[in-house]
Every structure is written in C-alpha cells, then in structure tokens.
Amino acid sequence: MTEKAGLAHKVYLAAGQYPDSEIVSLVTAASAITGQEPFQIVEKFGEFIVPSLLKMYGHLLKPNWKSLDVIEHTEGTVHTVVRTSDKNALPPRLRTRRTAPDTVVLVYIHSERCAPGHGNWERARTSLQRNALRQPDSMHA
C-alpha cells in the first residue's frame, strides 16, 4: 500500500504526526486496492484504533460512564491529557452537548478530522454498547 501511495520508504509509528497529504495518499491507495470508498477506509481505521485508545486512555474514564458519557467527556479528559503530555499532538477539538438522555451532539472543530472521528465514535458505540448513539452529520464550527 505504501508503494502504491508513493511512500514506499516511509516508516509510520503509532505516536507519530504525519502530514495530511500522506494520509490522503494512503487512504487513496487503500481505496484503490480494496475497492472501498475513501470514507469507508477512514471510518474502518477509526473503528480499528478505538480498542488501542481505550487501552492507553481508559484509566481516564470513570467506570460508571456509558458510551455517550465517554463521547461527552473525551475533550475534557483524554484530549486534554494528550495535548498536555505531547505538545505536538493534534487531537481534534470537540464540543459536545447532551440534548437528551440518549443523545449527544458532537461538533468537531477541525473539519479534516470528521471521518476518522466518526469511525472512532462508531467503534466506541459498538464496543461499549451501553447507550444508543445518534450522531448528526459532522458540523463544522
């Protein structure tokens, strides 16, 4: 895939930060190889990464939180710690609003993060399976 993306000699590490152009090239190559739409590739990546994120940052979550609570409080817990511990980290800024007991409105401040984030929230919903999740289309602030 890296060869098809024109990045054959690149090495990617989990903790690294990489240019958006490389991500686009990798997603485009994966799409061409698999026949899936680029948004599907990005969503699947989001779904794939959530278990690892929960292992790394699960200790920041309250044990009684359900899936919507995790989504509602990610910015104030996980993303705050990530930004504090790694000055180069760029997790998307999230704004949430609980509009009903079973609904959280999630606003991504960085629009380029919408598709991966969507996959993460879908995986969180599936993994935690404690509440219904209604997510509107990504809204850009």
Give residue 98's pLDDT.
94
Q: What is the pTM of this model?
A: 0.61
CA nearest 54: which of 37, 41, 67, 40?
67
For residue 62, give the 3-state DSSP assignment.
coil
For residue 41, CA distances in Å to 23, 78, 92, 126 come to 11, 24, 19, 17
Q: Spelled out in words, what is the top-level CATH class assigned to the domain 42-128?
A: alpha beta
Task: Give the tens place of pLDDT for each residue, 126-140.
Answer: 444 433 344 443 333
Residue carrying structure tokens 């993306």: 5
Strand ranges for 38-85 from DSSP E: none
Give residue 122's pLDDT.
54
CA dihedral 60, 63, 67, 69 (to 10 degrees): -70
Task: Give the tens place of pLDDT for each residue, 9-27.
Answer: 999 887 777 887 888 899 9
For residue 103, give the 3-state DSSP assignment.
strand
- What is the rounded average pLDDT of the residues 73-100? 89
Task: Give the tens place of pLDDT for each residue, 31-85.
Answer: 999 999 998 998 888 888 888 888 989 999 999 999 899 999 999 999 999 889 8
Query: Any idea where the domains of the chain sit in the sequence?
Result: 1-35, 42-128
For residue 85, give the 3-state DSSP assignment.
helix
Q: How confident is the model at residue 6 (pLDDT cuts 50, 70, 90)?
A: very high
What angle is formed at CA 137 by the lines to CA 132 and CA 141, rounded to 5 degrees?
Answer: 115
CA dihedral 109, 110, 116, 121 (to 10 degrees): -10
Give residue 113's pLDDT.
42
